[in-house]
Amino acid sequence: MKKILTPFNILIILFIASFSTAMALETNDEKEKLVADFERAKAFTAEYMEAMPAEGFSSKPTTDIRSFAQQFLHIAGANYMFGSMIAGVDNPKDGVEFEKDEQFQTKEACMKAVNESFDFIIETIKGMPNESFESDVKLFGQFEMSKGVAFAKAFEHLTHHRGQTTIYLRLQGVTPPSERLF
């Protein structure tokens, strides 16, 4: 009996192949995992910003919260702050108030600032010795944890704020990008 590949069977094969590829890429190296997560977050964040029309960057669902641009500029500032604090390196943007500075509020300037902040945190992680991710750091003078966990908190923070912008896109009639879990 001859077997025919149906569209459903093809989808199952592709799913299994992609899952197998993801499993093959799995690593026990915490640095590699963090770099991969932040690179994925950079691409996903860029998709969110690209999806918003330029005029939507100043939009706010209500007057008392951050604009779309300010949400992403908050992520940019946090990437620099977390990266420098955790790794113990100088913050190259210390004193820059991304959210408040008018020069960063346009789509082009916002995207550039956010992408550069991801480059900073990714390069900072890459520059750290593998064993340093197990050493402790105290964030904000009160929360003690390993540096690996601290970077996971930074990742959680950026995910939270990017997720908030889903409603901003919907209010502009834009469908948000599909989730990037892998």
In tens, the pLDDT along 102-159 reads 999 999 999 999 999 999 999 999 999 999 999 999 999 999 999 999 999 999 999 9
Find out whether 157 is annotated in a ligand binding site.
yes
pLDDT band at 21 (very low <50, low <70, confident <90, very high): very low
CB of 146 within 8 A of CB of 135? yes
Residues 6+ apart with CB under 8 A from 18: 182
Query: Is 23 a residue whose pLDDT tops 50?
Result: no
Q: What are phi and psi of 137, to 5 degrees?
A: -140, 150
Residue-level pLDDT at 16: 52
| 136-139 vs 143-146, strand pairing mode | antiparallel
Q: What is the rounded CA–CA span in Å between residue 108 and residue 114?
A: 10
Q: Report whether pLDDT(181) > 70.
A: yes
Q: Closest Cα partner for 71 from 168, 151, 180?
A: 168
Predicted TM-score of the model (pTM): 0.84
Calculate what percentage of the chain has a pLDDT beyond 70: 85
Q: Percent of the chain having pLDDT more than 90?
A: 81
For 147-166, letters b (16+ CB in 10 Å) and e give: bbbbbbebbebbeebbeebe
Structure tokens at 151: 């970077």
The model's pLDDT over 156-180, given as tens digits with 9 standing for 90+, comes to 999 999 999 999 999 999 999 998 8
Is 161 flagged in the annotation as binding? yes
| Rounded (to 5) percent helix, strand, coil in the chain | 65, 5, 30
Q: Is the pLDDT of residue 98 over 50?
A: yes
Does 160 appear as a known binding residue? no
Top-level CATH class of 29-171? mainly alpha
Sequence-ordered list of residues with C-beta below 8 angstroms from that of 105, at least 6 positions apart, any chain: 57, 58, 67, 69, 70, 73
